[in-house]
Amino acid sequence: MADFRELYDLDAYMKEFDAEVLSCTKKDELYEIVLSQTAFYPEGGGQPADHGTLNGVHVLDVQEKGKTIIHTCDGPLEEGSSVHGAIDWERRFDLMQNHTGEHIVSGLIHNTYGYENVGFHMGEVIQIDFNGPLDDEQLAGIETRANQIVMNNEEIIALFPDEKELETMEFRSKKELHGVVRIIEVPGADVCACCGTHVKRTGEVGLIKILSRQKHKKGVRVEMLSGKRALAYVQKAMAENHKISVALSAKELETAEAVDALLKSSFAKEVRIREVSEKLLAYKLNAYEPGQKLIVDFADELDRTVIRRHCNALAEKAETAAVLSGEGEMWNYFIISHTVNLREKADQLNSALNGRGGGMPEMIQGSFRASMEEIDRIMHEVLG
């Protein structure tokens, strides 16, 4: 944990600062720069590193190695020179909002259910793993209370207790603590040892939105967003919902019902289509006189069991029956014969009709890439 000597510890709102370049080392195509002091927050405690500039040079990463903070930059800076640093504030403030929002949610869950935050990742969304289960209703309750803490606009307090005070304090912590410990208190929500950067008052966190939950080990993985990012997410989700509402002529808050009705009607149509196509097959079957030598029957896209059943029925009226299912130049075939050895004929059919497949002497199946006319002609040539 940091020593709290750095500018970002003293003032998380410092956007610009001046410092002296202590060293600059070339590493691969980049430069590792150490400064006399810095407001750049190094990656740590789950919070990503700051970006920004030192004079004209871009700071791409900041890492803490021992007591040294290393700025990885895309250009060199002269040792001993003075530099002006500027933090990418948009990025940092977004991280402060999301980091503080995480404190509020983790603290409330800890206080209410006794669970620990056992995994924390700040990526496109903020991911937190808790070591106990939570359902949607419980998380909705936490979300409501978290936003109430925001609305209360509580002042966030940083404490530096000595070892004795620390022994008697109750706080959340992810690891063994040594040296100077900073305790971050969000009144009403959380007390936690943390070296990250936080907003001054909870009001600055803005909207806190829990996005999803899924089972994780024996607990739950929660995804959430705070601040501007949460607002952007809600705007996007509402725009999507608006499109559904327009497409289905449903009220914005009744789209789920409308989708449900649509799915039910679509399922009913599928059932109806199946009934109609069964009737059509029966009608076609009845049209054939018994005692035929060869029947070649083309049908619309059918599933395998229907093709098979239809072919079996046709084979009652012919020595050889073939059902082709598909359209254009793509056809699945199923052929049954009582008189011809189909296994011997399969190669001939496949090579003439760009096909593949095979089977047993009395039954073969596969596919052809050919037109209806060609298939009909070759079938009669080979099997007729």
What whole-number distance in Å separates Cα of residue 209 and Cα of residue 222? 11
**Residue found under tokens 């402060």:** 96
Select the span of 189-197, 298-306, 327-335, 340-348 touching Zn ion (CB under 5 A). Answer: 189-197
Nearer to Zn ion by C-beta: 194 or 321?
194
Nearer to Zn ion by C-beta: 99 or 145?
99
Give the residues across from 105 on adjacent strands: none
Tell which one of 107, 196, 326, 366 touches Zn ion (CB under 5 A).
Answer: 196
What whole-number distance in Å separates Cα of residue 177 and Cα of residue 187? 22
Select the span of 173-181, 194-202, 232-240, 356-364 touching Zn ion (CB under 5 A). Answer: 194-202
**Which residues in 82-101 contact Zn ion (CB under 5 A)?**
none
Select the span of 154-162, 192-200, 207-215, 293-301 touching Zn ion (CB under 5 A). Answer: 192-200
Pairing relationship of beta strands 318-327 and 292-299 according to DSSP bridges: parallel
Select the span of 35-43, 137-145, 186-194, 245-253 touching Zn ion (CB under 5 A). Answer: 186-194
Residue 366 lies near Zn ion (rule: CB under 5 A):
no
**Which residues in 222-241 contact Zn ion (CB under 5 A)?**
none
Give me the least distance between CB of 189 and Zn ion, in Å please: 12
Give me the least distance between CB of 244 and Zn ion, in Å please: 38
> What does the block give as tokens for 305?
């069991």
Residue 194 lies near Zn ion (rule: CB under 5 A):
yes
Give me the least distance between CB of 45 and Zn ion, in Å please: 6
Nearer to Zn ion by C-beta: 122 or 311?
122
The crossing angle, in degrees rounded to 10, of helices 227-247 and 255-287 is: 40
Nearer to Zn ion by C-beta: 48 or 196?
196
Q: What is the helix (H) or strand (E) element at residue 96, kind and residue range?
A: helix 89-113
Residue nearest to Zn ion (CB): 194
Nearer to Zn ion by C-beta: 46 or 366?
46
Give me the least distance between CB of 247 and Zn ion, in Å please: 43
Spatial CA neighbour of 188 closest among 103, 116, 120, 119: 103
Nearer to Zn ion by C-beta: 57 or 149?
149
Pairing relationship of beta strands 117-122 and 16-27 according to DSSP bridges: unpaired
Q: Which amino acid is at 253?
A: L
What whole-number distance in Å separates Cα of residue 329 and Cα of residue 333? 12
Give me the least distance between CB of 23 and Zn ion, in Å please: 30
Q: Within 13 Å of residue 83, how many CA atoms lie on the same side as its CB? A: 29
**Phi, psi (rounded to 5 degrees) for 3:** -90, -5
Q: Which amino acid is at 154?
A: E
Nearer to Zn ion by C-beta: 196 or 326?
196
What DSSP assignment string belongs to 151-173? HHTPBPEEE---HHHHHH---B-
Q: Are 349 and 326 in contact (CB under 8 A)?
A: no
Select the span of 66-74, 188-196, 262-270, 292-300 touching Zn ion (CB under 5 A). Answer: 188-196
DSSP 42: P
Give me the least distance between CB of 95 and Zn ion, in Å please: 10
> What does the block give as tokens for 163?
């070892």
Q: Are 125 and 223 in contact (CB under 8 A)?
A: yes
Select the span of 49-57, 191-199, 327-335, 341-349 touching Zn ion (CB under 5 A). Answer: 191-199
Give me the least distance between CB of 231 and Zn ion, in Å please: 21
**Count of residues interacting with Zn ion (CB under 5 A):** 2
- What are the residues binding Zn ion (CB under 5 A)? 194, 196
